[in-house]
Amino acid sequence: MKRVAFLLAVLAVTGCAQLHPADSAQADKPGVSGAILRFDIPADALGAHDPQLSAVLAKAGALAAAQKRPTVIRVTALGQDLRYINESIWKGVPVHSSNKPVLENLTAGANQTYSVSIEPLQSGG
């Protein structure tokens, strides 16, 4: 729980990402209900490869890896930006983590908000 509070503090201080609580209007979208954390990525911070955004993405990776249950990190962005986002997230995941998150990339459509969400991984059977 301390890690979640720390991540929330980092996000609040950086001002480069907007958090959405899991019980907000976003919760009725597929794949977002039950989210551990969800935040939007401002296009200007992404385009500039803002160091604060990189730090927040790394913290998101660390948070996902620190969960007791397996998690999935869903990234929604333009295809050209996914590599940068993915690399920033993986920087936060410990190399020898026994609980590596699954990373799922979704390509954003026109006028779609770029976002990152961390959710419990649903078992497929």
Domain ranges of the chain: 2-120
* Two tokens, residue 99: 């609980």
The 10s digit of each residue's pLDDT in 15-73 is 444 444 444 444 344 444 588 999 999 888 888 888 999 999 999 999 999 999 999 99
* pLDDT value of position 33: 59
pLDDT exceeds 60 at position 14:
no
* pLDDT value of position 85: 97
* pLDDT value of position 5: 45
| Fold category of 2-120 in CATH | 60s Ribosomal Protein L30; Chain: A; (3.30.1330)
Hey, CA dihedral for 28, 7, 63, 91, is it positive or negative?
positive
